[in-house]
C-alpha cells in the first residue's frame, strides 16, 4: 500500500517493487520519473517480515572478492554531501576522481576545480538536470560510484550503478523501505557488485576504539547497546531551501518512525556482530507527539510562510527497541527537532565493562582481567573508571589500527572530524585490494530497514515487528568483522 | 479513625477478595507467609481490564480527614523503616507509637532511638512474622508504615486500612496487578490513604524539575526517561547472593521484566501529571539476556545460602517504553547487576527545554521566553545551556517551595541526602492538616504494576500490554498537583 496515490506519476518504483518480488528484476529508472517517496510501496506487518527466496542465479556477496587494481576510479553523484567524498578521494593516492555530478552546475564546477587543485587532473562534469547522472553511468572508466543524493534517489541510482557494472557506495540511509532493501540485495547478488552503505560514524575515533575493545572481549558478554540520532535540525537544516529543506522535511509529513537510524545503529551493530553471528530479530517502536516543527513553522513562518499548510505526522522523539537473535537488546532513538545537544549515545553494556559516549566514559568491572589493563590498578565501576583525560590517554593507547594508520591524516583532510576520510580510505582500499569492504549490502539493508519497520510498529500500536533476514540464513556463519588495518 | 474491628473482619476481607476476583487471590492469613512466586499473573487480555468499582466504595483522590494535632505512627520493618522512625522522632507533630520487626535487636535499637529524640519509648513488637497484626490492631495509631519485603506490602497495607489506619507503603506497593487492585479497593472501601513512599520524588533536583515543569518552563512535554540502574551485586559487606538479599533475589527467579520501576517512574510521572489529566495507556518491554547473577555465582564459589540451585530468569537490562493517553512516551529501565555507575536517568523533554540528570544538565531553547529567564541572555540548546556551577546557581534560584522551606533541615536529618525526611515531613503534614497526600493509592498502583506489566510483555515476546486504569476514568478530571509548599 502507498500512503499517497498519484495516478499521474509513472510507477516505475512500484513496478520495480513488484519485479523485486520474484517476477524479474528489470526496474531501471526511466528518464522521466523523479522518485516520489510517497509512492514507495509500504508493507503490512506480515509481508514486511518475510524473508524472500533468493532469485535463481543470484549468489551471496558477503565474501565477494574482485580483481585487485592499482587505482580505484571514483565518480560522485550529489555534491552537497558528496563533496566530502570528492575531497577524500582526491586526497587518497590510490584513488582517482574521474567524474562528478550534480543538478547544480556551480557545485559540479567547484568540486571539479578542487580535484584539479589537489591532483592536477580535472574530472568530467555532469550537471543541469535530474538525468545527467545516467549519462555519467554509461562511462566505462569508473569502478565505484558514490551516491549522495536525497534519500528517494538512492535506490534508483544504486540499482543502475550496479547494472552498469560498477560498485555502489550509498549514503545513508541507503533505502527508505524494506522493499527497496530487497531490491538492493538482489541486485548486488545478481550483478556481483559491492553495494556498501557508507556509514561514516562507524569510522569515528571513539567508535573504532569501542569496536577494537569489543572484538578483543574487553566488555565480556555483550548484553545491551544504545544509540541515537539526536540532532536539532528543526530550526535550520530542515527548512533550508536549495539544500536538505527541499526534501528531508517531507518525510516528516507521511512517516512516523525512526527516519534516520543508521548513524547510531551502524557502529552498535558492528559491536554486536549483527549479520555476523547475530541478527535483528524484532523491533518495537513508540513515538512521542509532534510539536516542534509545527511550533517553529507557526512562530517563524520560514521561507515567507510557504509551508503554512504542511502537516507533520512524525513524532518528535521516536524510541525503538531491537531484540536480536542472541537475545541482546538495542535501544535506538531519533529526534531532530528538540532543543537539546547533539548525541548518538554510542553505548555498549557488557558483563565486564560499560561504555557511553557524549561525553565518552568507560566503567570497568573490578574483576575485569583483560590484558590491556594494569593488573595492579584498583578499579571500580561504581563511578566512570576512565573519563576525560584519563580516558583520552587510554583511548590513545588502545587505538584501533585504522586510526593509528590514518587517523591524523583524516583529521587534516577533515569531514566530520576526519571520519569521512577514514571511511573513504578504508572502503576504497578494500576495492583496491579486491577484498570485501567492511560494510556490505546486507548492512545497508539491515540498518536501513529499521526506518520502515519502526514506522510499521508505530502504526500498529507498537506491536513487535519481526525483521526480515536479508542474508537468508547466512548471518549464522558469516565471520565477525576483523580488526581491520 | 474507625473503632477496632470485630473478629469477623478477617473473614469479611477474605470473602470480599474472593468475590471480587473470582477466587484468584487469597488474602494472607495469620499462618501464611506470602510467596510472591505463587501470585496470580493475569493473561495478556485481562491484565489491562478495568474492574468495576465494588458497590459502596468511593474514590479517595480528594479524601480529606479530620485534622489532628499529632500524627501517631507505627512502623513495620525496621531495616528500611529505620529512616521513617527517625523522621517520625524528629518531627514535632508526630509521635512514634510502635515499632515492629521480626528481629528483636532491630526493634529494640529503634525504640532506643525514639526515646533518645523524644523521651518517650514506643511499644515494641518483634519475634515472628505475624506479630505485626497485633500492632495494627492498636487503637492509638493513625498511620502504619509498611517497610517490609515486597510480598508483605499488600497484605499489611490492606489489613491496616481495614482497621482504620492509613497505610504508607514502601516501594513496590504491590507485586502484581491483582495486588494493586486490592490496594485501590481497600483504600476506597475503608476511606483511608494509601500513598506510595516514593522518596525519589522529593530529591532536590526532582523537585526543581517539577517546579519548572509546573510553570510551563519546558513547553509541551513530549518524552521522559527514567531508570533504576544500580549495581547491587556486591555491596561491600554482602553480595546479592547472600541471605540479606534472599527475598529480593527470589524475584529474579520468576519475573522477567522491570522488578523495581517506581524510583524512576514515580518522579517522571509527576512531571507529566500522570493520573491527573493523563494516564498510562500501554507498556512494551524488552529484556536483555541474564548474565549478572549467574556469573556472580560462578565467581564467588562456594555458593552461599540457597542461591546455588536458583535459576535466574530476569534479564540484566530491561527496557520498557510506556505510551500515555495524551501520546507522551516514557522510557523506563532497570539494571541492578551491570558494571556501571548509579543513575535514575531523570530526563524530561519538552518543546522549549530538555533536562537530564546524572549529571544534571539543562538545555533551554533560544525561543524560550519564560519569565524566570533573563531576556537579555543569549541562549542556545546546541550545548547544555546550564550545567555544573551555572546550573547549581539556577537551581538554587528556582528551588521548589518545599526545598526552600524544609530542604536544609531535611539534609541534616539525612536519609538518601534528605529526600526521605522531606517526603515524611510532607506526607505526615498532610495527615496533620487532614488533606490528601501528594501521592495516592492510584499512584501506588499505577507505578508499582509496571513490574507485572513489563513481565507480561517480555513473556509475550514484547507485545504492548494495556495499562489498567485504577482511577476508573477519574484521571481525566483530576486536577494537577499544585506546587506544594
Residue B255: domain span: 200-400+439-476
pLDDT at B461: 98
Contacts of A287 in chain B (CB under 8 A): 329
User: pLDDT per residue over B395-443, tens digit each?
Assistant: 999 999 988 888 888 888 878 888 999 999 999 999 999 999 999 999 9
- Our count of domains for chain B comes to 2
Please give the grid coordinates belonging to residue A117: 587543485
Cβ within 8 Å, pair B364-A339 = yes
Are residue B104 and residue B117 in the same domain, yes or no? Answer: yes
Among B7-11, B151-155, B284-288, B433-437, the least confident range: B7-11
Which chain B residues touch A453 with a CB distance below 8 Å? none
The pLDDT value given to residue B106: 96
Whether B190 and B205 share a structural domain? no
Are the C-beta atoms of residues A283 and A455 closer than 8 Å to each other?
A: no
- Report yes or no: A423 and A400 within 8 Å, Cβ to Cβ: no
Q: Do B339 and A365 touch (CB under 8 A)?
A: yes
How far apart CA A147 and CA A154 sit, in angstroms, is: 6
Whether residue B410 is contained in a domain is answered as no
In angstroms, the first-to-last Cα distance of chain A is 45
pLDDT at A33: 65
Q: Are residues B341 and B231 in the same domain?
A: yes
Do residue B270 and residue B187 come from a single domain? no
Ranges assigned E (strand) in B24-149: 71-76, 94-101, 123-126, 143-146
Provide the pLDDT for residue A124.
98
B323/A462 Cβ within 8 A: yes
Sign of the Cα pseudo-torsion (A394, A395, A401, A407, in order) = negative
Per-residue pLDDT reduced to its tens digit, A307-338: 999 999 999 999 999 999 999 999 999 999 99
Find, in chain A, the residue whose alpha carbon is nearest to that of B223: A288
Residues B305 and B246 sit within 8 Å (Cβ to Cβ) = yes
pLDDT of B485 reads: 58
pLDDT in tens, A424-468: 999 999 999 999 999 999 999 999 999 999 999 999 999 999 999
Residue at B1 is within a domain? no
Residue B231 has pLDDT above 90, yes or no: yes
Same domain, B324 and B450: yes
> Which pLDDT score, from 0 to 100, does residue A414 have?
78
Interface contact flag, A354 B338, Cβ < 8 Å: yes
Q: What is the pLDDT of residue B303?
A: 58
Residue numbers in A near B316 (CB within 8 A): 223-224, 349
Position A13 pLDDT exceeds 60: no
In the 8-state DSSP scheme, what is residue B294?
H
pLDDT, mean over chain B: 91
* CATH at B204: 3.30.360.10
Residue A129 grid cell? 538536470
How far, in Å, are A69, A200, A266, A423, B109 from residue A406 at the CA level? Answer: 21, 15, 21, 10, 66
The predicted pLDDT at position B2 comes to 36
Over range A108-131, report the average pLDDT.
96
Q: Look at A189-203, B236-250, B319-333, B455-469 and tell me which has the smallest mean pLDDT.
A: B236-250
Residue where one domain finishes, among candidates B184, B199, B214: B199
Cell numbers of A69, please? 587494481
| B367 to A323: CB separation less than 8 angstroms, yes or no | no
Contacts of A365 in chain B (CB under 8 A): 339
Domain-located, residue B433: no
Contacts for B38 with CB less than 8 Å, ≥ 6 apart: none
Interface contact flag, B368 A339, Cβ < 8 Å: yes
What is the side-by-side order of every strand in the sheet holding B465-466?
A: B386-387, B361-364, B353-356, B347-350, B221-229, B329-335, B318-324, B280-287, B465-466
A19, pLDDT greater than 50 = no
Do residues B78 and B163 share a domain? yes
Domain with residue B104: its CATH number is 3.40.50.720
Looking up cell 533560544 gives B366
pLDDT at B236: 80
Does the residue B153 lie in any domain? yes
Nearest beta carbon to residue B329 from set A295, A317, A331: A317
Closest CA in chain B for residue A330: B288
**pLDDT tens sequence across B106-130:** 999 999 999 999 999 999 999 999 9
Considering only CB atoms, A328 lies closest to which of B289, B349, B363, namely B289
How many other CB atoms are found less than 10 A from the CB of residue B435?
Answer: 16
pLDDT band at residue B310 using 50, 70 and 90 as cut-offs: confident
C-alpha cell at A135: 549519462
Distance CA A352, CA B338 (A): 8
In a domain, B14, yes or no: yes
Q: Which of B44, B217, B222, B459 would you mutate first to test chain A, the one with the most A CBs within 10 A?
A: B222
Residue A388 phi, psi dihedral angles, 5° rounding: 50, -130
Which domains, and CATH codes, for chain A?
Answer: 12-48 (no CATH), 72-199 (3.40.50.720), 202-403+439-476 (3.30.360.10)
Work out the pLDDT band at A218, boundaries 50, 70, 90: very high
Residues B328, A288: C-beta atoms closer than 8 Å = yes
Among B339, B352, B365, beta carbon nearest to A354: B339
Interface contact B340-A354, CB threshold 8 A: yes
Residue B459, in any domain of the structure = yes
The alpha-carbon radius of gyration of chain B (Å, integer) is 22
* In chain B, % of residues over pLDDT 70: 91
Question: Could you tell me which chain A residue has the CA closest to the CA of B383?
Answer: A341
Q: Name every residue whose Cβ is closer than 8 Å to that of residue A63 and which is 6 or more positions away in sequence.
A: A436
pLDDT tens, residue by residue, A157-181: 999 999 999 999 999 999 999 999 9
Distance from CA of A422 to the nearest CA of B (A): 26
Nearest-by-CA chain A residue for B460: A464
Q: Which of A4-8, A394-398, A415-419, B401-405 has the highest mean pLDDT?
A: A394-398
Are residue B182 and residue B287 in the same domain, yes or no?
no
CB contact under 8 A, A353 and B339: yes
Domain-terminating residue out of B199, B232, B254: B199
Q: Which pLDDT score, from 0 to 100, does residue A274 have?
A: 98
Q: What is the mean pLDDT of residues B257-281?
A: 97
Distance from CA of A463 to the nearest CA of B (A): 6
Residue matched to cell numbers 513530549: B222
Q: Give me the mean pLDDT over the A360-371 stretch.
A: 97
Provide the 3-class DSSP secondary structure of residue B435: coil
Which of B216, B282, B286 would best serve as a mutation to test chain A binding (most A beta carbons within 10 A)?
B286
Q: For residue B97, how far is the Cα from the chain centroid?
A: 24
The cell for B469 is 486504569
Q: Is B92 exposed, middle or buried (0-12, 13-18, 19+ CB in 10 A)?
A: exposed
By CA distance, what is B365's nearest residue in A? A339
Q: Which candidate, A108, A150, A136, A163, places its Cα nearest to that of A242?
A: A150
In a domain, B362, yes or no: yes
List the single residue in A299, A335, A368 with the smallest CB-CB distance to B367.
A299
- Chain A residues in contact with B332 by the CB 8 A cut-off are none
Please name which of A266, A88, A95, A41 lies closest in space to residue A172, comparing C-alpha atoms.
A266
pLDDT in tens, A64-109: 999 999 999 999 999 999 999 999 999 999 999 999 999 999 999 9
Whether the full predicted model's pTM is greater than 0.90, yes or no, is yes
Please spell the DSSP secondary structure of B220-265, one letter per residue. SEEEEEEEEE---SB-SS-BTTSGGGHHHHHHTTT--S-S--HHHH
Q: Is the pLDDT of residue B3 over 50?
A: no
* Minimum distance, in Å, between the CA of residue B5 and any CA atom of chain A: 48
* Predicted confidence band of residue A18 (pLDDT cuts 50, 70, 90): very low
Q: What is the pLDDT of residue A453?
A: 98
- Which chain B residues have a beta carbon less than 8 Å from that of A354? 338-340
B210 with B183, same domain: the answer is: no
B166 and B252 share a domain?
Answer: no
Percentage of chain A lying above the pLDDT 70 cut: 93
In whole angstroms, what is the distance from residue A332 CA to residue A287 CA?
A: 12
pLDDT of residue B16: 41
pLDDT digits (tens, 9 = 90+) for A271-317: 999 999 999 999 999 999 999 999 999 999 999 999 999 999 999 99
Cross-chain CB nearest to A339 (options B223, B299, B365)? B365
pLDDT at B157: 98
pLDDT of residue B7: 41
Q: Which of A462, A472, A446 is nearest to A178 (CA)?
A: A446
**All residues at 6 or more sequence positions from B362 whose CB lies less than 8 Å from its CB, including other chains:** B353, B354, B355, B384, B385, B386, B387, B391, B394
Q: What local confidence, expressed as pLDDT, does residue A356 receive? A: 98
Using CB atoms within 10 A of its CB, is residue A451 exposed (0-12), middle (13-18) or buried (19+)? buried
d(CA B135, CA B100): 7
Work out the average pLDDT over B62-89: 97
Q: What is the pLDDT of residues B169-220, one digit of tens each?
A: 999 999 999 999 999 999 999 999 999 999 999 999 999 999 999 999 999 9
Under an 8 A CB cutoff, do B231 and A368 touch?
no
CB within 8 Å: A462 and B284:
yes
d(CA B355, CA B302): 46
SS3 content of chain B, % helix, strand, coil (to 5): 40, 15, 45
Alpha-carbon distance of A306 to B36, in angstroms, equals 61
Last residue of a domain, one of B199, B230, B256: B199
B82 and B218 in a single domain? The answer is: no
Find residue A97's DSSP bridge partners. Answer: A74
Tell me if B183 is assigned to some domain: yes
Shared-domain flag, residues B213 and B349: yes
Contact flag B338-A351 (C-beta cutoff 8 Å): yes
Same domain, B246 and B263: yes
Name the residue facing A286 among B323, B354, B363 (closest C-beta): B323
Amino acid at each position: 500500500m502507498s500512503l499517497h496515490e498519484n495516478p499521474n506519476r509513472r510507477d516505475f518504483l512500484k513496478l520495480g517493487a513488484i519485479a523485486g518480488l520474484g517476477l524479474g528484476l528489470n526496474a531501471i529508472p526511466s528518464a522521466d520519473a523523479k522518485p516520489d517517496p510517497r509512492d514507495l510501496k509500504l508493507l503490512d506487518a506480515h509481508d514486511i517480515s518475510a524473508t524472500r527466496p533468493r532469485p535463481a542465479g543470484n549468489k551471496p556477496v558477503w565474501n565477494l572478492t574482485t580483481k585487485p587494481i592499482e587505482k580505484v576510479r571514483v565518480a560522485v553523484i550529489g555534491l552537497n554531501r558528496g563533496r566530502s567524498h570528492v575531497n577524500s578521494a582526491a586526497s587518497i593516492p590510490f584513488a582517482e576522481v574521474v567524474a562528478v555530478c550534480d543538478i547544480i552546475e556551480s557545485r559540479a564546477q567547484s568540486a571539479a576545480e578542487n580535484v584539479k587543485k589537489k591532483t592536477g587532473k580535472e574530472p568530467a562534469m555532469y550537471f543541469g538536470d535530474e538525468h545527467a547522472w545516467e549519462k555519467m553511468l554509461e562511462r566505462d572508466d569508473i569502478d565505484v560510484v558514490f551516491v549522495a543524493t536525497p534519500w528517494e534517489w538512492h535506490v534508483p541510482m544504486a540499482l543502475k550503478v550496479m547494472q552498469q557494472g560498477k560498485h555502489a557506495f550509498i549514503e545513508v540511509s541507503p533505502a527508505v523501505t524494506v522493499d527497496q532493501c530487497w531490491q538492493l540485495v538482489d541486485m548486488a547478488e545478481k550483478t556481483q557488485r559491492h553495494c556498501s552503505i557508507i556509514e561514516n560514524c562507524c569510522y569515528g575515533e571513539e567508535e573504532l576504539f569501542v569496536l577494537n575493545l569489543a572484538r578483543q572481549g574487553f566488555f565480556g558478554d555483550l548484553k545491551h547497546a544504545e544509540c541515537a540520532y539526536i540532532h536539532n535540525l528543526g530550526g535550520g537544516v530542515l527548512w533550508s531551501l536549495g539544500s536538505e529543506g527541499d526534501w528531508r522535511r517531507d518525510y516528516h509529513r507521511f512517516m512516523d518512525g525512526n527516519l534516520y537510524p543508521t548513524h547510531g545503529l551502524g557502529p552498535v551493530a558492528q559491536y554486536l556482530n549483527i549479520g555476523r553471528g547475530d541478527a535483528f530479530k524484532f523491533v518495537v517502536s513508540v513515538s512521542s507527539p509532534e510539536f516542534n516543527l509545527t511550533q517553529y513553522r507557526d512562530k517563524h513562518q520560514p521561507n515567507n510562510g510557504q509551508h503554512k499548510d504542511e502537516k507533520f505526522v512524525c513524532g518528535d522523539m521516536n524510541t525503538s527497541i531491537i531484540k536480536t537473535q542472541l537475545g541482546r537488546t538495542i535501544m535506538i532513538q531519533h529526534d531532530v527537532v528538540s532543543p537539546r545537544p547533539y548525541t548518538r549515545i554510542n553505548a555498549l553494556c557488557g558483563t565486564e565493562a560499560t561504555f557511553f559516549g557524549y561525553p565518552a566514559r568507560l566503567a570497568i568491572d573490578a574483576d575485569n582481567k583483560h590484558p590491556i589493563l594494569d593488573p595492579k590498578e584498583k578499579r571500580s565501576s561504581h563511578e566512570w573508571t576512565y573519563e576525560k583525560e584519563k580516558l583520552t590517554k587510554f583511548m590513545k593507547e588502545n587505538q584501533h589500527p585504522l586510526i593509528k594508520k590514518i587517523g591524523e591524516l583524516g583529521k587534516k583532510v577533515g569531514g566530520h572530524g576526519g571520519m569521512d576520510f577514514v571511511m573513504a580510505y578504508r572502503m576504497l582500499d578494500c576495492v583496491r585490494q579486491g577484498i570485501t569492504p567492511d560494510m556490505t549490502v546486507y548492512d545497508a539493508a539491515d540498518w536501513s530497514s529499521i526506518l520502515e519497520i519502526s514506522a510499521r510498529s508505530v502504526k500498529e500500536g507498537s506491536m513487535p515487528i519481526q525483521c526480515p533476514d536479508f542474508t537468508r540464513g547466512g548471518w549464522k556463519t558469516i565471520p565477525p568483522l576483523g580488526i581491520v588495518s | 479513625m474507625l473503632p477496632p474491628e470485630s473478629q469477623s473482619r478477617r473473614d469479611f476481607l477474605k470473602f470480599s477478595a474472593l468475590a471480587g476476583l473470582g477466587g484468584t487471590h487469597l488474602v494472607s492469613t495469620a499462618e501464611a507467609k506470602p510467596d510472591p512466586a505463587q501470585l496470580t499473573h493475569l493473561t495478556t487480555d485481562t491484565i489491562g481490564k478495568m474492574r468495576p468499582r465494588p458497590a459502596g466504595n468511593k474514590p479517595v483522590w480528594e479524601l480529606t480527614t479530620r485534622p489532628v494535632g499529632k500524627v501517631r505512627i507505627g512502623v513495620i520493618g525496621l531495616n528500611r523503616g529505620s529512616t521513617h522512625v527517625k523522621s517520625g522522632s524528629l518531627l514535632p507533630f508526630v509521635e512514634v507509637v510502635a515499632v515492629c520487626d521480626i528481629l528483636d535487636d532491630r526493634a529494640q535499637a529503634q525504640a532506643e532511638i525514639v526515646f533518645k529524640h523524644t523521651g518517650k519509648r514506643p511499644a515494641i513488637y518483634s519475634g515472628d512474622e505475624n506479630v505485626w497484626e497485633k500492632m495494627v490492631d492498636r487503637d492509638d495509631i493513625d498511620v502504619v508504615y509498611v517497610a517490609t519485603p515486597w510480598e508483605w506490602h499488600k497484605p499489611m497495607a490492606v489489613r491496616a486500612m481495614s482497621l482504620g489506619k492509613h497505610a504508607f507503603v514502601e516501594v513496590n506497593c504491590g507485586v502484581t496487578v491483582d495486588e494493586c487492585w486490592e490496594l485501590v479497593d481497600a483504600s476506597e472501601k475503608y476511606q483511608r490513604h494509601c500513598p506510595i513512599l516514593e522518596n525519589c520524588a522529593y530529591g532536590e533536583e526532582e523537585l526543581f524539575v517539577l517546579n519548572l515543569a509546573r510553570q510551563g518552563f519546558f513547553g509541551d512535554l513530549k518524552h521522559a526517561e527514567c531508570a533504576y540502574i544500580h549495581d547491587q551485586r556486591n555491596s561491600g559487606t554482602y553480595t546479592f547472593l547472600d541471605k540479606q538479599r534472599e527475598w529480593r533475589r527470589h524475584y529474579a527467579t520468576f519475573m522477567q521484566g522491570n522488578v523495581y520501576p517506581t524510583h524512576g517512574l514515580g518522579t517522571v510521572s509527576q512531571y507529566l501529571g500522570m493520573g491527573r489529566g493523563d494516564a498510562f495507556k500501554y507498556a512494551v518491554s524488552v529484556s536483555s539476556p541474564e548474565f549478572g547473577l549467574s556469573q556472580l555465582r560462578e565467581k564467588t564459589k562456594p555458593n552461599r545460602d540457597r542461591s546455588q540451585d536458583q535459576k535466574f530468569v530476569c534479564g540484566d537490562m530491561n527496557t520498557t517504553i510506556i505510551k500515555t493517553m495524551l501520546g507522551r512516551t516514557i522510557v523506563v529501565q532497570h539494571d541492578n547487576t551491570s558494571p556501571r555507575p548509579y543513575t535514575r536517568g531523570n530526563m524530561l523533554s519538552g518543546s522549549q527545554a530538555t533536562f537530564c540528570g546524572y549529571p544534571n544538565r539543562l538545555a533551554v531553547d533560544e525561543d524560550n521566553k519564560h519569565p524566570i529567564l533573563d531576556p537579555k541572555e543569549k541562549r542556545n540548546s546546541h550545548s547544555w545551556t546550564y550545567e555544573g556551577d551555572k546550573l547549581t546557581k539556577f537551581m538554587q534560584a528556582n528551588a521548589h517551595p518545599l526545598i526552600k522551606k524544609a530542604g536544609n533541615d531535611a539534609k541534616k536529618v539525612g536519609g538518601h541526602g534528605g529526600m526521605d525526611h522531606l517526603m515524611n515531613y510532607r506526607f505526615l503534614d498532610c495527615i496533620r492538616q487532614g488533606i490528601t497526600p501528594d501521592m495516592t493509592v492510584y499512584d501506588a498502583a499505577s507505578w508499582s504494576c509496571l513490574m507485572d506489566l513489563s513481565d507480561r510483555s517480555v513473556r509475550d515476546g514484547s507485545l504492548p500490554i494495556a495499562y489498567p486504569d485504577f482511577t476508573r476514568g477519574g484521571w481525566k478530571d483530576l486536577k494537577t498537583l499544585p506546587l506544594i509548599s
